[in-house]
Amino acid sequence: MSATEMNQQFRLAARPVGLPVAANWQLLEEALAPLEEGQVRVKVLYLSLDPAMRGWMNEGKSYIRPVAIGEVMRAGAVGVVVESRSPRFAAGDHVSGAFGVQRYWTGAADEKSGVVKIDPALAPLPAWLNVLGMPGMTAYFGLLEVGQPKAGETVVVSAAAGAVGMTVGQVARQLGCRVVGIAGGADKCRFVVEELGFDACIDYKEGPLGPGLKQHCPNGVDVYFDNVGGEILDAVLTRINMKARIVICGAISQYNNTTPVKGPANYLSLLVNRARMEGIVVFDYAPRYPEGVARLAQWLREGSFRHREHVVEGFEKFPEALLMLFEGKNFGKLVLKIAEA
């Protein structure tokens, strides 16, 4: 690689109101600087596109600082080390990290960088952005630590065909739970039941959820893993059991609101049922990721555990690909392939 090779980046040009549009982005090209001592250069191969990215584009305090105007858009990614002046990595190593929406990441590869080696022999590269990446860790620790499901209990998960949801349901199944998904459309529901092995899946586009929840959760709902918020959260709240646990992982239905967020009108069901609603942020479990990766990789090896990625190709497609998340157009974990391995 020569020092005059070019990097390309999507930077945040303006904060969106509602859905992000083209004017929110600036596509920038700049020459790659020579590496400094301790740095590595990563050629990014796959970018992770996640609902949480919408939140990072907003101003204001959250669980992580907002992306600044003019800054490269934050994104998880996997890539390959193409040049290294760090003893921790060698050219050819596959790595994951918060490399951002750019073709090359250059930085100090110390421990606090969060850059870690990944083993493509365990699972294909896109799976490291899915079941063995953030969504998988979110599902694993959110379900186990906050949801605390017990064998025989009923676990419901929304966005069940999505990156987090598909792993939540499969982990719950491994634990001996009855697992009911909620997803949009017959194709996704079929996938959730036939491929992922959920006991049932309710199509929220088919009409009100009440009858489906009643039919498929005859013993009520013990754990609800919520990725969507809004009316779906409200519907499940009417079916929870005594001492139920609701894991608040996200609220994709509310992220692009230009009106105030719709709070769960049925939250007093928590009182009636002595139930709990609790938030989870995956970063809290970073020290335990190796444990999560090991257990999920073990299930993958055993062959009954599935993952599915929806791969869109082309760096320049980033802005429109991101929107697929909010339109429910992706089927499986959405990743953007930007270079050949």
- In the complex, the residues that contact its own copies under the rule CB under 8 A are 61-63, 229, 234, 248-251, 254, 260-281, 284
Q: Which is nearer to its own copies, 278 or 313 (CB)?
A: 278
Q: Which is nearer to its own copies, 207 or 283 (CB)?
A: 283
Q: Which is nearer to its own copies, 8 or 257 (CB)?
A: 257
Q: Which is nearer to its own copies, 47 or 251 (CB)?
A: 251
CA distances from residue 136 to 131, 194, 312 in whole angstroms, order as listed: 4, 20, 20
Minimal distance, residue 21 CB to its own copies, in Å:
23
Minimal distance, residue 203 CB to its own copies, in Å:
24
Tokens of 219: 């013993």
DSSP string, 227-265: SS-HHHHHHHHTTEEEEEEEEE---GGGTT-SS-----T
Q: Which is nearer to its own copies, 279 or 290 (CB)?
A: 279
CA 212, CA 179: separation in Å to the nearest integer? 13
Minimal distance, residue 205 CB to its own copies, in Å:
23
DSSP 173: H
What's the number of CA atoms in the CB half-sphere (13 Å) around residue 234? Answer: 9
Compute the C-alpha angle 169/232/184, nearest 5°.
65
**Exposure string over 317-334, b if 16+ CB within 10 A, otherwise e:** ebbebbebbbebebbbbb
Q: Which is nearer to its own copies, 250 or 292 (CB)?
A: 250
Cα Dmax for the chain: 66
Residue 290 CB partners (closer than 8 Å, separation 6+): none
Q: Which is nearer to its own copies, 61 or 112 (CB)?
A: 61
Q: Where are the beta strands (DSSP E) in the chain?
A: 6-12, 25-31, 39-48, 77-84, 94-97, 104-108, 116-117, 154-158, 178-183, 200-203, 221-226, 240-248, 276-279, 309-313, 333-337
Nearest 5°: phi and psi at 113? -70, -20
Tokens of 325: 């998340």
Q: Which is nearer to its own copies, 59 or 284 (CB)?
A: 284
DSSP string, 13-70: -S--SSS--GGGEEEEEEEPPPPPTTEEEEEEEEEE--THHHHHTS-S--SSPPPPTT
Q: Which is nearer to its own copies, 85 or 276 (CB)?
A: 276
